[in-house]
A and B are shown apart, each in its own frame.
Chain A
Amino acid sequence: MTSWCGKYGVLEMGFEVDSSGRSVLSHLHREVPMVVQQALYFDEHLPHLPCIYILSSGGPHLEGDRYRVDIRLGEGAMAQILTGAATIIAPMEHSGAELRQTITLGEGAYLEWLPQAIIPAARSRYTAHTEMVVAPSATLFFSEVVACGRLHSGERFDYRELELRESVFRPNGSAIARAGARIVPEEFSPSERAFMGSFTHFGSIVVVTPPEICSKLLSLLSPNVSEELRMSVASLRGNNGLSLRLLGHSSERILREIRDICSMVRQEVKGAPLQEEFPWR
């Protein structure tokens, strides 16, 4: 690793099914500023689902910050992971902030990954690489939302660089899908019509799931081309999942759509919808 100064946050979480059949957070290792509350079982529709809020006690991501997250779900385990608030990437002068995360799902495991938005401030640089290893019978719902900046301060694509990269593999190492977005507003403006046009926020969803569930989801989901929200729906190779891209005018609108789609996925996999979002969120 190149030399850096800044915070180095580490979070490792492992989930397993205990003897009573309930999924539990069986391994937790964290280094500040990563903070995790205890597993909460608040979902009325799926009472054995541990829900975890990831928090950061160090405020926004600053220049030089590095974060490493490793999530593992054993055979048949399930979990929902959320963030407590939006992730702000603070203004920077020289380098950037970086997140590297790995998500590993064993056979029959089920994970919902529902973070709040990333907000890259003016002059910030941020890189997030996510590697997912998903067993053939498992289902992973992965999502992310990115704002154009701190809108209340008048920022609109004033960041320097944003790179989000995802790769999905099977446990034997074969690649299912890769995706990557690198936005450098100085190189091209995301406001060009072929990119985001007048939209200010984008979201991405990757669903990895067995082919029969994927086919059902494809029949339920349709592309959206409205003024309020745009959404593309594409299958992954071999019908091993879906890739969706969303454009909207606010984080809230995209997050709401993401929850609706997550609910649809959960209904197909677990036979229950997602619980209504808390009114204070």
Chain B
Amino acid sequence: MCSDTSTLLSLFRLAWISDSALPTGAFSFSLGLEGAVESGLVSDLSSLEEYTIGALYGAAECDGVAMLEAYRAIADGDHTRVKDADAHLLSFKAGEEAREMTLRMGRRLIELIHSICPTPLTEEFYGEVVEGTTAGCYPTAQALAGYALGIGERALYAAHLYGVANTILSAALRLMRLSHYDTQAIIYRLSPLCERLYDLYGSRTMEEMTSFIPTLELAASLHERGIGRLFMN
């Protein structure tokens, strides 16, 4: 690990990897919101907020579980467990666009971290992703980056959930008639949810991973067949 774990440094780095300017391509995805808006499933601020809540629950019980498992496996020095978590998560992803999003963003983040802050693990993982022997899902990449940068697991979990909410709400600004103040107010109102989600799902094992967000699944499915193509999902 190339990091100093002092609080200010880790907070600075947490802010850095949570920033939407991080070149992972998150801005080109909407997590199904484009399909939801096009079909009328999301039509106003209230339905947008509920959609975001659903996405946060979905992330917490699925991607968040894999990210924490990968992070803990890295801390234990168990690289096989990291790759198992990665493969397990990919098998949970139904829908071409959902798989494309996690693999594309994952590869970009692994590449970025490995080029800036290489460790034996990032080298091993990046090499396998390039060879195609490991998938390299985004939550696994976040765990690798977070550990390499000395960010604690709870803070990384918050960054993961923030990324989900921010992806949807940034997309909403381009898809709906809203102001920045509206979306920032939603982020503020939903922020206490991250403690609750960590308490509910933070100790789940990979075998306990679930995903039950029918409306978001429908929105993603509509997008795959839809005509609105501003976003990649």
Which A residues are within 8 Å of any B CB, using their own CB? Answer: 163, 165, 167, 175-183, 187-188, 192-197, 202, 222-223, 225, 230-237, 243, 245, 247
A188 near B94 with CB under 8 A, answer no
For A196, give the chain B residue with the smallest CB separation.
Answer: B214
Q: Residues 206-227 of chain B: 1 if any A CB is under 8 Å from the residue's CB, otherwise 0?
A: 0011111111111011101100
Q: Please indicate the chain A residues that have their CB under 8 angstroms from the CB of B213 in the complex.
A: 194-195
Question: How far, in angstroms, from A61 to B38 measured CA to CA in the complex?
Answer: 43
Q: Is the CB of A235 within 8 A of B95?
A: yes
Contact present for A230 and B218 (CB under 8 Å): yes
Residue pair A194, B218 in contact (C-beta under 8 Å): no
Residues of B within 8 A of A (CB): 39-41, 47, 50-51, 53-55, 57, 61, 87-88, 90-96, 98-99, 200, 208-218, 220-222, 224-225
Is the CB–CB distance between B217 and A245 below 8 Å?
A: yes
| Chain A residues in 8 Å Cβ range of B225 | 222-223, 233
B211/A234 in contact, CB under 8 A? no
Name which residue of chain B comes closest to A176, CB basis: B91
CB pair A202–B95 under 8 Å, yes or no, is no
CB nearest to A247 among chain B residues: B214
In the bound complex, how far is the Cα of B220 from the Cα of A213, in angstroms?
22
List the B side residues contacting A197 at CB < 8 Å: 215
Taking the closest CB of chain A, its distance from the CB of B35, in whole angstroms, is 8
In-complex Cβ contact of A192 among B50, B218, B221 (8 A): B50
16 A-B pairs besides A177-B94, A197-B215 with CB distance below 8 A are A178-B91, A179-B211, A180-B209, A180-B210, A180-B211, A181-B211, A187-B200, A192-B54, A193-B54, A194-B51, A194-B57, A195-B54, A195-B57, A223-B218, A225-B218, A237-B93
Q: Which residues from B are CB-within-8-Å of A167?
A: 91
Closest to A202 in B: B214
Q: In the bound complex, do residue B200 and residue A194 qualify as a contact, i.e. CB atoms below 8 Å apart?
A: no
A261 CB, min distance to chain B CBs, angstroms: 14
Query: B22 to nearest A CB, angstroms?
Result: 26
Contacts of B214 in A (CB 8 A): 195-196, 202, 230, 232, 245, 247
- Given known A188-B57, A223-B221, contact A178–B88 (CB-CB < 8 A): yes
Contact A178 B215, CB 8 Å, known A225-B39, A225-B222 = no
Distance between Cα atoms of A231 and B224 in the complex (Å) = 13
Q: How far is the CA of A231 from the CA of B214 in the complex (A)?
A: 8
